[in-house]
Chain A
Amino acid sequence: NAGVTQTPKFRILKIGQSMTLQCTQDMNHNYMYWYRQDPGMGLKLIYYSVGAGITDKGEVPNGYNVSRSTTEDFPLRLELAAPSQTSVYFCASSYSGTGGLNPYEQYFGPGTRLTVT
């Protein structure tokens, strides 16, 4: 199992550009989450998904969009990048269902460090 993978690892964007952060998990988890972490701050939830075709806003969704067409993939789209979106982005997944896994225990990818200048 690769777990949760994120690409790219690093990216520099100019103001106004767009990009998609990729997230894939191979654990057949139904729940997926996107967080951002700013320096000295905790992780803040951007968007989440409870299953394919279902997404919902988190705490800081403005400036972002997501889609969940498959169980495995949960891309995060940035439109019109702004300096305030400079951050480290983490994707996470968890499982709720039979099998005894703890649904609160989220598995994280290694992160994407994004700089907008």
Chain B
Amino acid sequence: DQQVKQNSPSLSVQEGRISILNCDYTNSMFDYFLWYKKYPAEGPTFLISISSIKDKNEDGRFTVFLNKSAKHLSLHIVPSQPGDSAVYFCAASKWSNDYKLSFGAGTTVTVRA
């Protein structure tokens, strides 16, 4: 049962514009959320995270928004750059002492010049 869903498999955006990636979750016990970025033939790398006590976290060009009532989070990339072309995974975790993550299926972002 997929508890973390990324319903858009792909996104194409022009360089300099905003990329918005969406993620929905079904488990109300999730209280920590992360975004990972993955290039081909490499492992995922951590991008940004947010705790359920916040509704926004910003790091440079990347901002994550959390709407707990809707069980929805989004990642905004502004402005998009060619190096942002990658697969982006949303992940979530329940508070526990094993820090296990549940991942979405990923969204492939292509930034057009």
Partners in one complex: yes
Stretch at the interface among A14-22, A69-77, A102-110: A102-110
Q: Which of B36, B97, B105: most chain A Cβ within 10 A?
A: B105
Contacts of A110 in B (CB 8 A): 41-43
Contacts of B97 in A (CB 8 A): 50, 96
Partner-A contacts on B (CB < 8 A): 2, 4, 6, 9, 32, 34, 36, 41-46, 49, 89, 93, 97-106
Q: Do B100 and A105 touch across chains, with their CB atoms under 8 A apart?
A: no
Contacts of B104 in A (CB 8 A): 42
Bound complex: CA A48 to CA B43 (Å): 17
Q: Which residue of B lies closest to A9 (CB)?
A: B41
For window 50-66 of A, CB contacts with B under 8 Å fall at 50, 56, 58
Contact of A48 among B93, B100, B102 (CB under 8 A): B100
